[in-house]
A and B are shown apart, each in its own frame.
Chain A
Amino acid sequence: MNLEVELFGVKFKNPVWTASGTFGFGIEYKDFVDLNKIGAVCVKGLSINPREGNEPPRIWETPCGMLNAIGLQNPGVEYFVEKILPQLSSYEFKVIANIYGSTVDEYIAVAKTLNSAEGVCAIELNISCPNVKKGGLAFGVDPVEAARLTEAVKKASDKPVIVKLSPNVTDIVEIAKAVESAGADALSAINTLMGMAIDIYKRKPKLKNRFGGLSGPAIKPIAVRMVYQVSKAVSIPVIGIGGISTWQDAVEFFLAGASAVQVGTANFFNPKAVEEIVNGIESYMEEMGYSSVKDMVGDLRE
């Protein structure tokens, strides 16, 4: 079965990718999984300067999920291009660079640095990190700001631009439409939901950052709903993210309208999740008589 998909002019061997922040730069997992089974790796969010990230504790497990407030710790885009990217070239997966900045100019600077990075097939704009004060969420919750940023990055970048949407908004469709009009080549949805957990004996938040992004199976129904709504409203590809842990989860997203999916938190508890999902989708497509992934996208009988 051929699982190949072509999105924004790029061919991917399959539509199952790893979500930013959940798979490092890919090589962290090289001893535990066959990296060549992965369609694409969305690398940890890159900024113009290296970032230390938030003070620990940064993670807390919740029922069927987890909260994180990493704070976009990363070595900076230049280090990525010079030292990390060359290590990825021997693998078959495509590299998508997730980027963020605290100002439009910072986003532009990161995007420009990546123009010369041959191994990067697309950039994913993080306008939705809930964990740093200027982590882009300010852009992600306002359709006008989101569009302004998308337009600016599109102008600066030679690569296709995916805009990663925040679920922490009243109307995700409004933002989706705004960034589509501003020239986005694709959308990815959803980022984490802002949450909080409290230690009842210390009477303190579990996370030093107070709030964190909720991810994992717990958020999947919300993500499926949002992907469904967004994909109905736009004509650019939507990449589904949110709690995908099994092939059945992934199929839900395809039927809801996703052209590809990203596996996130599942990588933590099952490093082989992507491989298992790819195999499961293949059998499902055979069983259901789909000859290409495209035929399955949005094929919901209502």
Chain B
Amino acid sequence: MNFKVIENKKLSKKDFVLSVEVDEESLLKRIKPGQFAMIGVSPTQSFDPLLKRPLGIFNVEKNVVSFIYRVYGRGTKLLTNFKQGEEISVLLPLGNSIPEQFDKYLFIAGGVGIGGVFLAAKTFLQAGKDVHLLYGEKNRENLSALAFIEKYKIPLTVFTEDGSYGKKGFVTDGLTEFTDRVWVACGPIPMLKAVKELSERLGVKCFLSLDTRMACGVGACLGCVVKTVNGYKRCCVEGPIFDATEVLL
């Protein structure tokens, strides 16, 4: 599917927000918090790089769907070239979603992992649920999603490794205060490992949003599997949201 780019704006040194216009009502309605999209990163038709890139659906406002991404390699670097008004090839919505049957949530975002939990935090808060967000980063400059979080008044605790904003330390330092909530975490693997271990030790229900290299994003290539207690599961279909007790990180 081709969508029109509304904006592709730099938020910080390496982070961008990409917004596209989705006019198909039926598609918009299908989007659930925690899902992702496969994004074609070349503005012109090219076979290099060949594959689309998976990005979590960061936000949906009316008919505008947004993604937050950090420039890590060639694909994300190319993505920064998209200009307003250009067409971009996007497959969405993909994957399962964050379970919504609970009343109290703690969302845990490490860096651009905010892209995987923000929409849930916003949507669940609007639905009257009790929501708190822990957002961790290296330093103040990297806290790219701060303005969005403040805009939607999501209850927040920020952690920076250098103490330049919020509390000094890792996002995982704040977990023990919230053992009466369901945890949902998205971020780098070491962070997810720590969250998983703590949730198991404290007996807290916990979900992890995983990110692996993908080719198709729809369950066909079997390239993105993650190891679980029940064998390999496709991150793109059975995931990206997994029960923390199920996945083997």
Contacts and interface: CB of A to CB of B under 8 A. Distances in A.
Interface in B32-64: 40, 47-52
B143 to A, nearest CB: 28
Contact of A269 (B40, B231, B237): B40
B222 A58 contact: yes
Interface in A232-261: 245
B215 A32 contact: no
A28 B47 contact: no
A130 to B, nearest CB: 15
Interface in B213-249: 213-216, 218-227, 231-232, 237
Contacts of B231: 52
A61 B212 contact: no
B91 interface: yes
A88 to B, nearest CB: 14
A73 B215 contact: no
Given A53-B225, A56-B226, A59-B221, A267 B216 contact: yes
A90 to B, nearest CB: 19
A265 interface: yes
A64 B48 CA distance: 5
Nearest to A50: B231
Nearest to A245: B47
A70 B50 CA distance: 18
Contacts of B1: 32
A217 B225 contact: no
A93 interface: no
Interface in B1-23: 1
A217 B50 contact: yes
A64 B225 CA distance: 23
A63 B91 CA distance: 22
A269 B51 contact: yes
Interface in B86-105: 89, 91
Nearest to A67: B223
A143 interface: no
Helix, strand, loop or mixed for chain B's interface?
Answer: loop
Contacts of B48: 63-64
A23 B222 CA distance: 10
B204 to A, nearest CB: 27
Contacts of B223: 58-59, 68, 70
B40 A59 contact: no
Contacts, number: 92
A265 B68 CA distance: 27
A63 B232 CA distance: 28
B52 A269 contact: yes
Interface residues of B, number: 28
A237 to B, nearest CB: 26
A24 B232 CA distance: 16
Given A53-B225, A58-B225, A269-B52, A64 B47 contact: yes
A59 B50 contact: no
A21 B221 contact: yes
Contacts of B47: 64, 216-217, 245
A58 B236 CA distance: 14
A270 B46 CA distance: 12
Contacts of A44: 222
B64 to A, nearest CB: 21
Nearest to B216: A268
A24 B213 CA distance: 18
A178 interface: no
A239 B222 CA distance: 24
Interface in A266-301: 267-271
A265 B50 contact: yes
A174 B173 CA distance: 65
Nearest to A74: B222
Residue of B50, B91, B227, B237 ringed by the most chain A CB atoms within 10 A: B50
Minimum-distance CB pairs A-B, first 10: A59-B223, A24-B220, A268-B216, A64-B47, A268-B215, A28-B219, A217-B47, A28-B220, A70-B222, A64-B48
19 contacts: A21-B222, A22-B216, A22-B220, A28-B218, A31-B218, A53-B225, A56-B224, A58-B224, A59-B224, A60-B213, A61-B49, A65-B50, A66-B51, A70-B222, A73-B225, A73-B232, A217-B50, A265-B50, A268-B51
Interface of B: 1, 40, 47-52, 89, 91, 212-216, 218-227, 231-232, 237
Given A52-B231, A52-B232, A55-B227, 20 more contacts: A22-B220, A24-B218, A28-B220, A29-B220, A32-B218, A53-B222, A56-B232, A61-B50, A66-B215, A68-B221, A70-B223, A73-B232, A217-B47, A265-B215, A267-B216, A268-B215, A268-B216, A269-B50, A269-B215, A271-B218
